A and B are shown apart, each in its own frame.
Chain A
Amino acid sequence: MPRIVGIDLGTTNSLVAIVENGIPRVIPGLDGHNLVPSVIYFGENGEVLVGNPAKEKLIEKPKNTIFSIKRFMGKGMADVRGDLALLPFDVSAQSENILKLKVFGRDYTPPEISAFVLRELKRNAEAALGEEIINAVITVPAYFNDAQRQATKDAGRIAGLDVLRIVNEPTAASLAYGLQERRQGIVAVYDFDGGTFDVSILKLSEGIFEVLSTSGDTHLGGDDIDEQLMRLVLGESKTSPDPRDFPSIRKATNKAKEDLSSADETEISIPSLGYSRKLARKEFDTLIEPTVERTLKSCRQALQDAGLQSAAVDEVVMVGGSTRIPLVRSRVQELFGRVPHTSLNPDEVVALGAAVQADILAGGKRDMLLLDVTPLSLGIETMGGVMSKIIPRNSTIPASASELFTTFVEGQTNVKVHVLQGERELVQDCRSLAQFDLKDIPPMPAGLPRIEVKFLIDADGILSVAAQEQRTGKYQSVEVKPTYGLTDEEVERMILESFEYAESDIEAREVIEARNESETVLTATDKGVKSEQFANLSVDEQNELIAAAAHLRETVKVDDHRAIREAIERLSHATQRLAEMIMNSAIEKALKNKRVREVDTDEPTDHLDKH
């Protein structure tokens, strides 16, 4: 079987990892960093930067530098209106059921934007492993609903990946911790990252990792803490800030938050607003207390669902960057009465676990098995707008349920089915997953047809539906239209479009490389002009050299690598004679130096005599 990588597609950072010789390791990017920031920059001329180079554009180009896109996966406009207030992005008018960001007049859905990050990770893995990578396991927050999981799978497909499995982040983390050495026991995984919070309670027994319950909030993370601090700044600032100031405010508050993980006091300083204040850990703790309390409430819910007291938990594992916050650590320790495991890097542990799961799928580890659950109850709409649950939350997946449907009117050939996810009683309070029609029902008196609909949640936590009329045994055509998400045709179109990007990606890379080379050449030229040999050139030679350098300085501003290369070529030609002269004089000097050294080393006897 070809290699399978594990990918943590995070709100803030993303990583790719692989198991080699039984040991999972993170594959660094070409720049040597393990973390690829989940930031995507769209340039004016169609070039796209991903990761660290894109992150550098956050302040300068806020409108076309997208971050935290994971928060929008599987969401419609109504879900995210609150967030968008603090984000600088433009949203397309056609965003009701699937949010679309508008960049330079083109609409992008969150799966398409996430695909840029996945493509970068794929490329990093291919460069490091020296082979094409097609198969991947991608992690998602355990509390992600059907639409969010499907959106993640779509992103993989658009990036040219075959997503063999969607794995829940906390469960992946538990695999990475090698807890299988503990043959029996109860483990709680507390996963608090940039955008989401999850808690999972697992039971370990002889290599089987059985999730008993999971709870969380897909909209509660470090970003919320940043935003709390941002609101503090906005409230205190004397000048009324412009949305264009938000990126620098976010950067300053984010830094303050990180400082307070080790320091007792820090300073938030935003020169452009003339704003500065000290922030003590104590004040910060008071500010974030309600947020931390929300996570603890989820923990208590998970324990209750697992039918356990907190004392029954043998191990607590901490995952996600936000678990570096001291208040988070102390509260979690208090709740479970255990010192949490923090030995693995909380930013990397999920990717490492994804790689372990990938290894299980590849047939490498048959002694380990992960049994996960669906985080939300699945149900259908019944009379009076009531949700009738058919698969309860925390059911081990894959899971299925059958329901019988019938007609209400004589000769009725069509029955509508509305599928929902959630815990509330009324349809309006649950998440709509999909609607579909049972069509071509043989005309019969009302109530006589018996259509059995089978709902199946697969091991990725994604729903599929099949229907059969029991009297005739005929399979019904079921066209499921997702409420929030892309149809198959839309994903296909995006895959085709992504090929264009593969080309423009190469172009963008060439431009970056040409620019880097220009910089080297220009620096060398500047040195040359200041050197004593410059005077030895003819006036014409001097003029051409200066003109060529000026030309290159202008050309690098344009995103055209061919033009940049030509300008480099012209400058190299113009500096050739100067370079030779400098080189010669350097050699001369070196030779002189060598002679001096040789003289030194030729007289060792001197030293001996002195002893």
Chain B
Amino acid sequence: MNYFEVFGLPKILKIDLKALERTFHELSRKYHPDYFAAAAPEERQNALQLTATLNDAYRTLRHPVRRTEYLVNLEGFKPDGSKVPKSFLMEVFEINEQLEEVMAGSATPEQIAALTREIEERGARFESQLEAASMEWDKLVESNASETQRKQQLTTLTEILSESSYIRNLQRELEEKP
């Protein structure tokens, strides 16, 4: 059973988080190992496995990036950081150098502010890209689009994820700055 099936959902990317949480709570009340403490060992093991899968599914589906990664993997695509355009890599490289200065403590407050803005903007741009591509994907699913169209959209989603991993790394490092 894949994670979408666990929640009784089609393979779509725009998910109502409130409804997802509601289903998560309902299923937890049904399968949680706490309610099987007195059951036979196989039944207990079963509850443990089911709940683990439910939790894994919820953790994955409620987060837009994890959800998209899961979907493209499920469809046989794999985000690959080494396949991003060279020009993009150069930009990331430059930001990284500035970030190193910040980490080393040799940057001025103005430089830090500018860098923070730059990374935030890139983060926002990535989010809106992902959002648009996800809506596009859902439309293809709903309209029963052709295999070719779907594959093309999955390629687009995979490319966005590949690039975004660099941006997310920058964001993470920025959070850890002294």
Q: Could you list which residues of chain A lie within 8 angstroms of chain B, going by C-beta atoms? A: 1, 4, 164-165, 205-206, 208, 210, 360-363, 366, 369-371, 392, 395-401, 456-459
- With A361-B34, A363-B38, A395-B55 given, is the CB distance from A458 to B28 under 8 Å? no
Chain B interface, DSSP helix/strand/loop, else mixed: helix
The distance in angstroms between the C-alpha atoms of A205 and B22, with both chains bound, is 10
Closest to A370 in B: B34
Residue from B25, B38, B55 within 8 A of A398 (CB atoms): B55
Q: Which of B46-54, B114-122, B126-134 contacts A (4 or more CB under 8 A)?
A: B46-54
B33 contacts which chain A residues (CB < 8 A)? Answer: 398, 458-459
Is B35 an interface residue, CB under 8 A from the partner? yes
Interface string of B20-61 (1 = CB under 8 A from A): 000001001100111101100000000011011101101100
The distance in angstroms between the C-alpha atoms of A457 and B52, with both chains bound, is 8
Asked if A399 contacts B55 (CB within 8 A), the reply is: yes
Asked if A206 contacts B25 (CB within 8 A), the reply is: yes
B51 contacts which chain A residues (CB < 8 A)? Answer: 398, 459
- The number of residue pairs between A and B whose CB atoms lie closer than 8 Å in the complex comes to 61
Asked if A395 contacts B59 (CB within 8 A), the reply is: yes
Closest to A4 in B: B37
Closest to B58 in A: A396
A206 contacts which chain B residues (CB < 8 A)? Answer: 25
Minimal beta-carbon separation of A4 from chain B (angstroms) = 8
- With A208-B28, A369-B28, A398-B48 given, is the CB distance from A164 to B55 under 8 Å? no
B56 contacts which chain A residues (CB < 8 A)? Answer: 399-401
The distance in angstroms between the C-alpha atoms of A458 and B38, with both chains bound, is 17
29 sampled A-B residue pairs with Cβ under 8 A: A1-B37, A208-B29, A361-B34, A361-B37, A362-B38, A363-B37, A369-B29, A369-B34, A395-B55, A395-B59, A396-B59, A398-B48, A398-B55, A399-B52, A399-B55, A399-B56, A399-B59, A400-B52, A400-B53, A456-B48, A456-B49, A456-B52, A458-B33, A458-B48, A459-B32, A459-B33, A459-B34, A459-B48, A459-B51
Minimal beta-carbon separation of B11 from chain A (angstroms) = 20
- With A369-B29, A458-B48 given, is the CB distance from A360 to B55 under 8 Å? no
Closest to A401 in B: B56
B37 contacts which chain A residues (CB < 8 A)? Answer: 1, 4, 164-165, 361-363
Chain B interfacial residues counted at CB < 8 A:
18
Minimal beta-carbon separation of A138 from chain B (angstroms) = 14
Minimal beta-carbon separation of A11 from chain B (angstroms) = 27
The distance in angstroms between the C-alpha atoms of A509 and B43, with both chains bound, is 43
A399 contacts which chain B residues (CB < 8 A)? Answer: 52, 55-56, 59
The distance in angstroms between the C-alpha atoms of A210 and B62, with both chains bound, is 15
A366 contacts which chain B residues (CB < 8 A)? Answer: 35
B49 contacts which chain A residues (CB < 8 A)? Answer: 400, 456
Closest to B59 in A: A395
The distance in angstroms between the C-alpha atoms of A457 and B56, with both chains bound, is 11
Closest to A210 in B: B25
Q: A395-B59, A399-B56 are in contact. List 14 more A-B contacts (CB 8 A).
A: A1-B37, A205-B25, A206-B25, A208-B25, A361-B38, A362-B38, A369-B34, A371-B28, A398-B33, A399-B55, A400-B52, A456-B48, A456-B49, A459-B34
- With A205-B25, A369-B32, A458-B48 given, is the CB distance from A1 to B38 under 8 Å? yes
Closest to B38 in A: A1
- With A395-B59, A396-B59 given, is the CB distance from A360 to B52 under 8 Å? no
Minimal beta-carbon separation of B24 from chain A (angstroms) = 9
In the complex, which residues 59-102 of chain B have their Cβ closer than 8 Å to any Cβ of chain A?
59
Which of A1, A363, A366, A398 has the largest number of chain B CB atoms within 10 A? Answer: A398
Closest to B32 in A: A369
The distance in angstroms between the C-alpha atoms of A361 and B38, with both chains bound, is 8
Minimal beta-carbon separation of B20 from chain A (angstroms) = 13
Residue from B34, B53, B58 within 8 A of A360 (CB atoms): B34
Which of A1, A361, A396 has the largest number of chain B CB atoms within 10 A? Answer: A396
The distance in angstroms between the C-alpha atoms of A8 and B25, with both chains bound, is 28
Minimal beta-carbon separation of B35 from chain A (angstroms) = 7
Minimal beta-carbon separation of A6 from chain B (angstroms) = 13
The distance in angstroms between the C-alpha atoms of A388 and B65, with both chains bound, is 18
The distance in angstroms between the C-alpha atoms of A399 and B51, with both chains bound, is 8
